[in-house]
Amino acid sequence: MSHESFMREAIKLAEDGMRGGRGGPFGCVVVRRGEIVGRGHNRVTSTNDPTAHAEVTAIRDACATLETFQLADCELYTSCEPCPMCLAAIYWARIPTVFYGNTRADAAAIGFDDDFIYQQIPLPPEQRTVAMEPLLRQEARVAFAEWSKKSDKVRY
C-alpha cells in the first residue's frame, strides 16, 4: 500500500467515527512494514474519555497488537495534525514519522482549537491557567529513589 492509501484509511476512520456519532472527525492508523497494525478514531464523546483521540486509540491498538510499548519501527497516518497530547503520545511511543491531512489551523476553523495548550506548555507551572502546586515532594521522592536503585526495571 502507498502513503496515500494509508492516509485514506485514516480519513475513512475519521468519517466513519463521526458519522456513527462516536466522536469528532479524526482518524488514524499505525503502520509497520507496510501493514496496518493499529486503527483508531476519535471516541471522546462516546466513551466519556477526553484522552480517546484518534492517535491515542490507534497507538493503544498498535501496542496491544504488537505487544510492545515502543513503536520505533512504525509510521503514523492521521487525518489531522496531532494536538499536544497526541504529539506527546507519539513521542512516548517513539514513532519516528507522522503523516497528517488537516492542519491545526483547519481544526481550529471548525472549533477544535488547541493553540491555548501550546501557549500554556512553556509557562512556569505557577503561571498556567490550571492551578499547579507542589505537595508532599519528600514523600513522593521515595518511589523515585526506589526506582533509581531497582535492578530489574524496564526503561521506557
Q: Out of 15, 55, 75, 81, which one is annotated catalytic? A: 55
Tell me how many degrees the CA angle 26-15-20 measures, rounded to the nearest 5: 105
Tell me the three cell numbers of residue 148: 533509581
Catalytic site includes residue 55: yes
Cα distance between residue 6 and residue 99, in whole Å: 9
DSSP 83: P
| C-beta atoms surrounding 5 within 10 Å | 13
Closest alpha carbon to 32 in 64, 62, 2:
62
Cα distance between residue 25 and residue 42, in whole Å: 7
- Residues involved in catalysis: 55
